[in-house]
Amino acid sequence: MAVSAYDLAQKNFPAMPMPAPYDTVVGDVWPGFQMLIWGPKGAGKSTQTLLMAASLVPHAVTAGGTVMIVAAEEGKGVGVQRRLERVGIPDEVAGHMMIEEWKGMDHLKKSMQENGAKWVVIDSISVVPVASLDLIDYCRSNGIGSLLVAHARKGGWTYKGNSKIGHEVDAVLHCHREEDGQGRYMISTKKNRALDSPPPSMPAPKDVSEISDVPQAEEVMRENPDCSVGEGEEQSAQCKAIMASLRAEGQLNDEFTEEEGEGASAEDIDEAPDPQETDVAAEEEEEEFDVEEGLENLMAMMDKAID
């Protein structure tokens, strides 16, 4: 059934902010958002994938789920363990990041359902090329975001794998190193449906300490009610614990503040305005302005200007 352009413009599609610096190259993401990140060996693809996965944990927890990482190349072994330690992901965040092995598409779908995956990372599609498009369709139809990792072809001009993947996903990111003698790790945007004018490239963060402004669960739930589920209070507490841990370890720049209500001090509650007093004040302000009198004054001013 077709929808008018007006009705489409009035729809409220939930969009969730990514923390800095990823907000500049990714922007806001939505349920079912699909990303591809690729680059040559040693360009930092797996590191950026883990950091992005950690950045998405508050969104996943708010929606009552987890972020699943399919370590298709390394498996659940020491390689992934050391990388998690190197980028400094706190235990509270890592507890919502589920590591899985690749044992086929049917096994992955079952594991995603059992673990409530709201985001899934595949590292890499070189191991699962045939299933990649099937996974994109499955995730998109179920409102699950995905981040697919791909290696670069010889010469580094494009990625290995089905070329259709780049057309199907919502964003394509390229990891590379600057050729300026410093060899800084960089991320550039090759395609992005979430940003009108993404920057050409940006320095890639090395660990969690270089990621800031992670949205709190309360903010995500308030601005995106369609992305959350019923157990808001319990999920809110989980995300508060995650953000509090990050701040306690000096990983975030902003101060952690409790929302009013549960966790607010008695002094804050006493100072909160009375809803009834607020309504009365609003009614008084409305009574002070007479619409008919205002129109008469306006017409008089117009007549005077014409004369």
By CB atoms closer than 10 A (0-12, 13-18, 19+), residue 106 is exposed
Dist CA 277 CA 279 (whole Å): 5
| Predicted confidence (pLDDT) at residue 235 exceeds the cutoff of 50 | no
* Of the candidates 65, 109, 95, the residue with the CA atom closest to the CA atom of residue 229: 65
pLDDT digits (tens, 9 = 90+) for 171-183: 999 999 987 667 8
Structure-block tokens of residue 282: 């609003």
Query: Domains in the chain, start-ordered, CATH in brackets?
Result: 10-248 (3.40.50.300), 275-306 (no CATH)
Residue 267 is predicted with a pLDDT of 42
Average pLDDT over residues 273-285: 48
Cis omega (within 30 of 0) for bond into 209? no
DSSP 80-94: HHHHHHHHT--HHHH
Residue 107 half-sphere exposure, CB side, CA atoms within 13 Å?
A: 8
Q: What angle do CA 130, 132, 136 make, to 5 degrees?
A: 145
Average pLDDT over residues 287-306: 52
Residue 108 is predicted with a pLDDT of 93
Share of the chain above pLDDT 70, in %: 68
Dist CA 239 CA 92 (whole Å): 9
* Lowest-confidence pick of 11-15, 64-68, 231-235: 231-235
Dist CA 208 CA 22 (whole Å): 12
Is the CB of residue 239 less than 8 Å from the CB of residue 61? yes
Instruction: Label residue 128 by pLDDT band (50, 70, 90).
Output: confident
Dist CA 186 CA 94 (whole Å): 25
Residue 262 is predicted with a pLDDT of 40
pLDDT digits (tens, 9 = 90+) for 88-109: 988 888 899 999 999 999 999 9
Query: How many angstroms from the chain centroid is the CA of residue 291?
Result: 46
| Predicted confidence (pLDDT) at residue 158 exceeds the cutoff of 80 | yes
Residue 191 is predicted with a pLDDT of 92
| Predicted confidence (pLDDT) at residue 14 exceeds the cutoff of 70 | yes
Residue 307 is predicted with a pLDDT of 52
| Predicted confidence (pLDDT) at residue 247 exceeds the cutoff of 60 | no
Residue 139 is predicted with a pLDDT of 94
Instruction: Label residue 217 by pLDDT band (50, 70, 90).
Output: low
| Predicted confidence (pLDDT) at residue 63 exceeds the cutoff of 70 | yes
Query: pTM (2 decimals)?
Result: 0.68
